[in-house]
Structure formats: structure tokens, C-alpha cells
Structure 1
Amino acid sequence: MDQPLLVFVTVAEQKNFTRAAEQLHMTQPAVSQYIKTLERMVGTKLLERSNKYVRLNKAGIIVYHHAKEILGQYARMQCLVDDLMHTASGLLSLGASYTFGEYVLPHVIAGLHAQYPLIKPRITIGNTKEIAELVLNHQLDVGIVEGGLQRENLYVEPFAEDVMYVVAAADHPLAQQEQVSAAELTEATWIVREVGSGTREATEKMFAALQLTPADLLEFGSTQIIKESVEAGIGITLLSYWAIRKELSRGGLRRLAVRGIPVVRSFSLVTPATRFYTKATQIFLERVRQEGTLPALPD
């Protein structure tokens, strides 16, 4: 492990030498010495310091970004070596976009934990763009995202089909119709996810395919808030079946009969292009790829 980098990252994140020393179980003078050593190595100051604060300067921001990546690589290297001698165990850092992470991943983790209790998942939820960035920066072992994704230095593997429906509250006027026209969809209030979300990408593609330009568009940053808002009658939306299956079964939401719906897309696994995996990561990937790890799709 590169100790100066570890000390620097800890100071940067704690924004305080004393707290960093406590976390690292070191003395404060030792922490200061490591920072001075690193600054000599890179040839410039990395931190702005006063009696009130410690913060990164412009050079420090650059070093911090790369230090996080280097420390992540160290950790993965050690895990790979340890795996040669031990059974699957240790931290498994997972990231998932909202739909998969909140509505499907818990079922996968439950099965994994039952068989491999020594694997300790740590889960980060974000939109597709955010998860891809974290994998690219080696802060996640595996990402699971929605829709299409093309990024250099990432390996993207579609592994499951996802179907999406336009839904409304059960008592919404459009929910009572046998067929909903494009004009009616254009006039409706739409509730959509933020830019960068795989669900938003799918929604935009659907608008283009149906030649829709909704006049009233509300943007919410959470699938759960969108579902609650649609059930409350605020508007309509396009969501994955995985996210709405309970509401559909209970009758709170209804699928609208729209030409060209359902929209079909894929869930994809995202890993670093190097593809050197710990045993825990390999086992997780194998489980996700297996048939039966996801709830059954509707007929």
C-alpha cells in the first residue's frame, strides 16, 4: 500500500489533520510528515491550510482523483492475491441504477448472502451515468445499468431484458380507454426522471418514436416519487415493469394501451475493461447471469 497516498486521501476527506490521524491510528506529526513527503514527490503544495480549514488546491484535486484510483487498484490486487488462498469473502462494491438497484438487486443479494455469507456487499445507487463513472474510476467492482451504454475502458454486457409500460393512476381518464392516441399522450402531464437516467433515455426515445412533444413535463429525481405522484393523479409516466409490478397487482396503477408499448431495453453489467475479478465478483456476476435470478416478466 502506498502510505503517503492513503494519508493524503484521508486528510482530504476528513478536511482535518487531527481527525485523519485518529482514523489512521497515527500521530498528527506523522500525518504531516507523510503529506510533506508526497508534496515533495509531486513537486508542489497540495493542500491549503489555515487554523479553520484544510482543503485541496487545484493540484491537490488532481492528485486526489488519481490517488483514489491507485488505492482502489491496490485493494483489488490484494483481494485477487488473497483469493488464490481463500474461499470467496470480503467486500463486494456494487453500484446499480435506480430501477435495478431498488427493485431487483435486493433479491439477488438475498440469494448471494444465503450461499456466501462471508461476502459483504456494499451498494451504491445512482443513475446510469453516475454508476458508469464510478466503475470507470475503480470505485465500484461492478455496475448494473439500464439501457444502452458505450464507454471506453468499460466492458458492458447486457444480461436481462427489461420491459417498460406507460402507466397512470387507476382512476385517470386515460386508464379507462381501450386505446390512447398520440394526441392524448401529447396533451397529458408527463412525469420523467432526470437527464443521465436510463429511464429518462428510454422515455426520450419513446417520445421520438411516437412523435410526441409533451407540453407539460415534470422532472423528478426518484422512481419512488414518480410512482407516488402518478398514483396521486398528477400525470402519467414510462417505468420499468420491475418498478411497478406491485402497484399493478394491487390496482393502484394501470398500463395504458399505447401503440408501440411496451418499450423493451436491457439491463447491463458494467465492469472495468481489465476484467481481473476477485472470487466474490466472479460469483456475483455468475449469479446475475443465471436464469431465474430475476422475477418473471409478464406475459
Structure 2
Amino acid sequence: MVAEKKNFSRAAEELHMTQPAVSQYIRTLEENIGARLLERTNKYVRLTKAGDIVYHHAKEIVGLYTKMQKLVDDLTNNASGPLAIGASFTFGEYVLPKLIAKLQETYPEIEPAVTIGNTTEIAELVTSHQLDVGIVEGKFKQQQLKEDKFAEDHMVVVASPYHELANKERVQLDDLEDVTWIIREQGSGTREATDNMFHSLGITPKKVMNFGSTQPIKEGVEAGLGISLLSKWAIQKELRNEELKMLHVKGLPFKRQFSIITTSPFQTKALEVFIDLLHHNKPLTTFNSKH
């Protein structure tokens, strides 16, 4: 808590302890570890290199301890308690809220906490036991994660209705190279899908702009900054309102898989019912047939 708050007083307040008690705990920990963990001055408190190592592993230890206790509690109780869910931006922002609402209807004692990030970030948090489950698209480095592909996503190229390509009956590959593309950052599943599409179509756009999430990309496309490859999940509202238009490109829509990722073979009841919900609520992951 001291590392996260960067302040002894704020950590003590958060932990409902006195500042001297927090300081004593830190001193005892440093003695047990055999190294100084925090640099303290009048202006700041920050982790030493040893402290950074201890903090990183302590997060994993706390995550594992909490999971162990919950698994034991589940032997005699119904699905309840905290459930740490991570999701990549597309699924987390446009599909997950409906699923969590459905989860709360059936299991009101489950306490979901959601973290949204790109695929790489979510995979790292699941690996370090800071998340119980992740929902991601694209590839990730962590070989130890259990991957369960459960949904297919269709991705399409979109433009403003007033864009020069919007009224073309069939967009040519040369057209796609000559316009500005707005794309996601490295590490994003959507960025990986975009790079794969460029490769499969054999095109190299002359100008690209990188944005950190889907929402500003949609707004940029709508404003006429350029075109983009986006999930149909993310643009349903804009298509209905005719704020964005799908371009007719040979070889599209581009398809990708969404996966559930976990670490431990043991699952809490809360996690079991959530994964079951993901597998059995296909209506929430289908698209409006009109579009």
C-alpha cells in the first residue's frame, strides 16, 4: 500500500492504521528480506530495485492466497464473493457490460471487478494472478495460460458517410493504400488483426495514425480523419445511426477468435458460473442481421 500510495500517511489511512505502525511493519519486512525496499525523503517514497522485486511477487502471493481461500470457502457455499475479470477493449467495452448485468441478476452475491486493457496487458495480469480470468483476442506470449476459444468476431473497414470511399460500390486495394488509416497501438488484438489484414491484402498504407482505444478511433473516423478496421461489436450503434459506413472490400469481413484465458486448473464457483455464462449466451455476441 505504501508503494501504491507513494506515501506512509495515505497508506496508513487506507489500512486504518497509525503511521508508526505502518513504518514498523515496513522495517520488519526489510529486516526479514535483508534489503532496503523503499527510498524515503521529505519529498517522495519510492521502491528500490529490491522493493520492486518484492512488490511484484507480493502481488502474486496475495492473489494466490485470496484464490486459495475462496476455493476452500466454495466447498460449502454458493457462488459469491469477488471475481476479478479482465477484458481487451473491444469485448470489455461493448459486450462485457451486458454479460455482467446478466450475471448479477442470477448471482447477486458475486462481486465482479473489471479491468480493461489491451490483450498483452490482460494476459500479464492473469499470469500474475491479479485477475481470475481474461477475455482477449489475438496472440499472447504466456505459454502457461489455459486458452478456451469461445466466440468469433467479424471485423470490417469503416469510414465516415462523407468519406471519398463511402459511396464506392467496391473499394479497390489501391484506394486503401492511398487513404489515411487510424489504427490501435502495438499489443492490441485489434492492431494485430489490422496488421494481419494489411498482410493478407498485400497493402501498405501511405499514412497511419495510432490511437490508444476504440472510442477515439470511431470519433476520428466519423470526423473524416481516415478509415479503420473495427469489430462489428464496437460499431452497432454507429451503423444504426448512420454515423459510420462499412466499406465493401473483397476478402472482408476479417474474422478473429475471442478466447477465455485462465491460469489455475481449480476454479471458484464464481468463476465457473461466469465462464458458463460466456459459453451459453451467444445472443449477446451476435450481430444485428440488418448490418
Shorter-chain TM-score above 0.5: yes
List aligned pairs for 1:237-248, cutoff 5 A. Answer: 237-248=228-239
Measure, in 1, the Cα distance between the counterparts of 2:3 and 2:191: 34
User: Are 2:175 and 1:180 aligned?
Assistant: no
Deviations 1:226-253 (A, max 9, x none): 1111111111100000001111122111
Of 241, 255, 259, 2:246 maps to 255
Does structure 1 residue 290 correspond to structure 2 residue 272? Answer: no
Q: Identify which of 142, 149, 152 aligns with 1:161.
A: 152
The answer to whether residue 120 in structure 2 is matched with residue 124 in structure 1 is no
Which residue in 1 is equivalent to 2:215?
Answer: 224
- Amino acid aligned to 2:190: T
CA contact (8 A) 1:97 1:144 kept: yes
Aligned with 1:175: secondary structure? coil
User: Bigger CA drift: 40-49 or 106-115?
Assistant: 40-49
Q: Which residue of 1 aligns with 2:268?
A: 278
Deviation at 1:23, TM superposition (A): 2.3
Q: CA deviation at 1:86?
A: 1.6
Please tell me whether residue 28 in structure 1 is matched to residue 15 in structure 2. no
Shift in Å at residue 174 of structure 1?
1.0
The DSSP-based 3-state class of the residue aligned with 1:213 is coil
2:221 and 2:148 mapped to 1: Cα distance?
A: 32
TM-score, normalised relative to structure 2: 0.95
Residue aligning to 2:135: 144
Q: Find out whether 1:206 has 2:197 as its counterpart.
A: yes
Match of 2:256 in 1: 265
CA RMSD of aligned residues (A): 1.4
TM-superposed deviation, 1:39 = 1.3
Letter in 2 for 1:282: E
Matched, 1:13 2:4: yes
Offset, 1:32: 2.3
Using a 3 Å threshold, how does the CA distance of structure 1 residues 83 and 293 change in structure 2: closer, same or farther? farther
Shifted more, 289-298 versus 41-50: the winner is 289-298
Contact 1:165 1:262 in 2 (8 A): yes
Length, aligned pairs only:
289
The CA deviation at 1:290 is 1.1
Whether 1:236 aligns to 2:227 is yes
Contiguous gaps of at least 5 residues in structure 2:
none
Partner of 2:184: 193
| Structure 2: distance between partners of 1:174 and 1:29 | 66
Say whether the 8 Å CA contact 2:124–2:142 is kept in structure 1: no
User: Do 1:18 and 1:28's aligned partners in 2 also have CA atoms closer than 8 Å?
Assistant: yes
2:103 corresponds to which residue?
Answer: 112
Question: Alpha carbons of 1:32 and 1:293: their partners in 2 closer, same or farther (altered >3 Å)?
Answer: farther
Superposed displacement of residue 158, structure 1: 0.9
Counterpart in the other structure of 2:88: 97
Superposition misfits of 4+ residues, deviation over 3 angstroms? none
Contact 1:96 1:125 in 2 (8 A): yes
SS in 2 for 1:121: strand
Q: Would you say the 8 A contact 1:148–1:266 is kept in 2?
A: no
